[in-house]
C-alpha cells in the first residue's frame, strides 16, 4: 500500500522513523523549539488548519482514508509546517469496501463510526473538525470515556 510514490508537502508515511525538527500535538519536544500547538495564535492556527486540510484533501484525492487523525499525529516543524503522520490505520478506499469501526482515537471518532455504520472519507473531516475546535478551545471538544458517552456528548452538543 505504501509503495506508491506520492509527492506532496503535507504527506509523509511514517513507519518507525524519527523525524528531526518536528513534534506532535501534545508530546514533549526539544527545548529549542518554540510553541506547542495549544499555544498558537489565531493566524498560526488558521495556517495549521489550512495545511491539515490540504494534506487530507491530497490523501482523499488518492482514495486514502487516514482513519486516525488527532493532534498527536500532526507533526509541526519549527517553521510551523504540518506533516500528517502515523498511517498505521490508513486504507485505500474502494466504494465497495466494508471498513472496520475499530479506528480513530475516541475523542476524534465520527458518529457513523461510533454507531458502527459504513463510512468513507468524511470521517477524516470530522476528526479535522474536532482537532480545529481543540486548537481554538485549548481543550478537546468531546472527552467521552466510552463509545456511548462519546455519542451522548456529541448529541448533547448539537
Work out the burial of residue 54: count CB atoms within 10 Å of its CB; fewer than 13 is exposed, 13-18 middle, 19 or more buried.
middle
Rounded-to-integer distance, Cα 33 and Cα 73, Å: 18
Residue written as grid cell 468524511: 122
Nearest Cα to Cα of residue 13 among 21, 25, 4 = 4
DSSP states of 76-135: EETT--EEE---TT-EE--TTPPPPS--S-GGG--HHHHTT----THHHHHHHHHHHHHH
Contact 10, 84 (CB under 8 A): yes
Q: Among this protein's residues, is 94 annotated catalytic?
A: no
Contact 53, 98 (CB under 8 A): no
Catalytic residue among 57, 68, 77, 86: 68
Q: Which residues have a catalytic role annotated?
A: 68
Amino acid at each position: 500500500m505504501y509503495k506508491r510514490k506520492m509527492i506532496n508537502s503535507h504527506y509523509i508515511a511514517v513507519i518507525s522513523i524519527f523525524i528531526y525538527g518536528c513534534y506532535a500535538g501534545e508530546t514533549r519536544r526539544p527545548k529549542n523549539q518554540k510553541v506547542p500547538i495549544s499555544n498558537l495564535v489565531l493566524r498560526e492556527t488558521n495556517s495549521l488548519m489550512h495545511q491539515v486540510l490540504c494534506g487530507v484533501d491530497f490523501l482523499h484525492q488518492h482514495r486514502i482514508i487516514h482513519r486516525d487523525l488527532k493532534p498527536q499525529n500532526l507533526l509541526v516543524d519549527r517553521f510551523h509546517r504540518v506533516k500528517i503522520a502515523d498511517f498505521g490505520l490508513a486504507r485505500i478506499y474502494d466504494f465497495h469496501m466494508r471498513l472496520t469501526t475499530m479506528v480513530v482515537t475516541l475523542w476524534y471518532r465520527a458518529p457513523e463510526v461510533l454507531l458502527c455504520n459504513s463510512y468513507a472519507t468524511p470521517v477524516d473531516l470530522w476528526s479535522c473538525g474536532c482537532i480545529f475546535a481543540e486548537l481554538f478551545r485549548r481543550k478537546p471538544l468531546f472527552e467521552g470515556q466510552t463509545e456511548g458517552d462519546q455519542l451522548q456528548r456529541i448529541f448533547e452538543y448539537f
